[in-house]
Amino acid sequence: MVYVPQGTFHMGPSDEDPAYAFSSRNRSVSISGFWMDATEVTNNMYRQYTNWVRDSIVAKKMGYVKTGTDGAERVDWVKMKTIKWNDPKTIEQLGQTDVMVAPPDRINGKVELDASKIVYHSEIFNFGEAAKRENAGKPRSQFIVKKDTRAYPDTLAWIRDFSYSYNEPMTQRYYSHPAFGNYPVVGVSWKQAEAFCEWRTHYLNAFLESKKRSQESKFRLPTEAQWEYAARGGRSQSMFPWGNYYLRNKKGCLLANFKPGRGNYPEDGGFYTVRADAYWPNDFGLYNMSGNVAEWTSSIYYEGGYTFMHDQNPDVRYDAKDTDPPKMKRKVIRGGSWKDVGYYLQTSTRTYEYQDSAKSYIGFRSVIDLPAQSGRGRRK
């Protein structure tokens, strides 16, 4: 992660609004300092999460997790180490549980993991609800939000997103093949990205507790304002992370992964996505803030949001329920992707996707609110 220092910038369009949508107005806002992933979350990073969830569920199924008299769960780590996914005996033993594909759904009788059963359970405290005056004095239990979220990405998004297009190889290999390990994870919905951040928080804090360090840390998705501020890299009114006005440098080389011209996809070096650390970083040390994959933010997409947001750490959030109308489920995505034209690469261009949708061109990166260690650009 790299440190993004506090500062003020002009949030909103740095160029004309060709659609005359007026969904964003240029205004000056101030942002506190924060840490941000230098790259989009990669397949390798996300696979650590899915493996952790998978092994945790399997450990309970096999009786390796016991609940003590104090209600806390304890893992038999000696037996946990015997779970070897490349061992036929382990697969045979798990074949009798519901975490594996049911016999009628097996192809040529092969016993495989049922991805739909790998679900991450999270419990978080809703500070926004607890802070309301009418909720003063109510027990904490009323503000604890419990969720179950499928962990694995939706690899079928590669086929679903593009009609009359042959993308089966990406569905079969993109998430699982080691060649794509350092490429950004895709096929992850906003809900799944939130769950990953909650797991990452749990994972870090468990480590800190094991080292007798009580510092509580929380990973989360960036707000829309934080994302735009970080993407600009200190260039307050520039169109792109590298400045104005062009998508090529003086040598004619493209500066991001997107859809050049009328659809010359491979011209920028990548037919689909590219490595998460491809191209030059911006002045904050952040890679691919424009292009490669669009990125989820924590903010709800509301056309008139800029008119009433505070000028200090502006943010508009709403965690929509499944029963809410689709309009309430829109979340802001930023940065443009490998399949978008240059307009969507502008740091100020905002668009949306529904929070329960997974796309082959949307990924994410996390932020964490911690003090700077030794100033601008410091990595951790």
Domain count for the chain: 1
Count Cα atoms within 13 angstroms, Cβ side, for 20: 0
Residue 23 lies in a domain: yes
Distance CA 238, CA 12 (A): 11
Quick one: pLDDT at residue 375?
A: 45
Q: Which of 27-36, 95-104, 113-122, 245-254 has the lowest mean pLDDT?
A: 95-104
Residue 79 lies in a domain: no
On whether the CB atoms of residues 3 and 375 are closer than 8 A, the answer is yes
Identify the band that residue 338 occupies on the pLDDT scale cut at 50, 70 and 90.
very high
Residue 95 lies in a domain: no
Distance CA 278, CA 360 (A): 18
User: Which one-letter DSSP state was computed for residue 222?
Assistant: P
* DSSP per-residue string spanning 170-203: HHHHTTTSGGGTTSBP-S--HHHHHHHHHHHHHH
Beta-strand (E) ranges in the chain? 2-4, 7-11, 27-31, 34-36, 65-67, 73-75, 119-125, 144-150, 219-220, 294-300, 330-334, 350-354, 362-363, 367-368
Distance CA 332, CA 320 (A): 13
Q: pLDDT tens for residues 145-188?
A: 888 999 999 999 999 999 999 999 999 999 999 999 999 999 99
Residue 24 lies in a domain: yes
Residue 205 lies in a domain: yes
pTM (two decimals): 0.89
Please give the residue range of the domain that contains residue 223: 1-42+154-380
Which CATH number characterizes residue 184's domain?
Answer: 3.90.1580.10
Residue 88 lies in a domain: no
* Nearest C-alpha neighbor of 237 from the set 6, 5, 8, 2: 8
Distance CA 232, CA 219 (A): 22
Residue 360 lies in a domain: yes
Distance CA 175, CA 172 (A): 8
Q: Which of 34-43, 206-215, 316-325, 342-351 has the lowest mean pLDDT?
A: 206-215
Residue 10 lies in a domain: yes
